[in-house]
Amino acid sequence: MIAIPRQKPVFRFAPSPNGPLHLGHALSAFLNRDMADASGGRFLLRIEDIDLARCTPEFEAGIYTDLEWLGIDWEKPPRRQSEHFAEYQAALSKLIDRGLAYPSFLTRGEVKARVAAFERESGPWPRDPDGSPLYPVDDRDRSEGERREMIASGIKHAWRLDMAKALSQVDTPLSWTETGDGDRGEIVAEPSAWGDVVLSRSDAPSSYHLSVVIDDALQDVTHVVRGLDLFHATAVHRLLQTLMHLPAPVYHHHRLVADSAGRKLSKSDGDTGLAELRKRGLSVADIRHLIGL
């Protein structure tokens, strides 16, 4: 009999170097490392730096310093998304060729003005699970000629998924296996709640949603352990995975760490930054205690 080798579980911690790591990142990193160790799995670090305007080498260096201090080691070298734009572009091209993505031309300011005008007249504009207004659909109906002309004339554009068309090409409902701190079990994915999501931005040749699913597949990630703030985004990830025939990892969305006032932590909130806490003399055991581990 031929023994089929069982794939080792693969975990990843995927911070963006757009600010200092805080206690919430420490929880994510420890959980990933601990779950990898407990299952005899691998632990990868991925630097999610597609936002070239906000990500800096200093913040990236801070990630390495903080993880080393916490005693968390990772397989070297880490994958840096900014070195793989061509891969995301190739995946996007395939979606464009299949008629599943279209160029969108409205700026953030234009969308905001449109939504405000609508809401003054007619009541609430639909919003995504994060509370951001859904992108207006006008660009979806432009002719090929018009699109080409607008792009040729140099108008900045992003590429968006045609959500309705994408959903018509997959068996619904989509779902994912969830083992985290919120709802568990087989979760029904509702990607339509996000509208026509961005696949590549006018200022970055990819988007979070596109690059995260490509990388999880390319890196053979079997378990995605991340904060509950990304729970609903998983619906978009499942849709993209299904469209691109990529495997679905198991998802574990963990509780978020709140500050003393009960607010979600943010990178601009210096008080809970790991480097700051280290400077104030806290030990790694103190950090584990603070995040309830």
Q: Sort residue 256 into left (φ over 0), alpha (ψ -120 to 50) or beta.
A: beta
Q: Where are the beta strands (DSSP E) in 237-284?
A: 250-254
- Given a contact cutoff of 8 angstroms between Cβ atoms, the answer to whether 109 and 239 are in contact is no
> Cβ of 283: how many Cβ atoms within 10 Å?
11
Residues numbered 197 to 216 that lie near ligand GLU (CB under 6 A) are 212
User: Which token pair is 5?
Assistant: 């080798």
Tell me how far, at minimum, the Cβ of 20 lies from ligand GLU, in Å: 12
Residues numbered 30 to 89 that lie near ligand GLU (CB under 6 A) are 48
Tell me how far, at minimum, the Cβ of 156 lies from ligand GLU, in Å: 24
CA-closest candidate to residue 10, choices 230, 270, 248, 216? 216
**Interface stretch with ligand GLU, choices 11-19, 31-39, 95-103, 275-283 (CB under 6 A):** 11-19
**Interface stretch with ligand GLU, choices 10-18, 60-68, 89-97, 148-156 (CB under 6 A):** 10-18
User: Which token pair is 147?
Assistant: 């699109």
Query: Which of 9, 10, 16, 45 is the binder for ligand GLU (CB under 6 A)?
Result: 16
Closest to ligand GLU by CB, 15 or 20: 15
CA-closest candidate to residue 13, choices 88, 83, 79, 58? 79
Query: Which of 14, 70, 95, 115 is the binder for ligand GLU (CB under 6 A)?
Result: 14
User: Which token pair is 253?
Assistant: 């969305």
Tell me how far, at minimum, the Cβ of 149 lies from ligand GLU, in Å: 36
User: Which token pair is 55?
Assistant: 């990500």
Closest to ligand GLU by CB, 48 or 178: 48
Residues that bind ligand GLU (CB under 6 A): 14-16, 48, 212, 226, 230
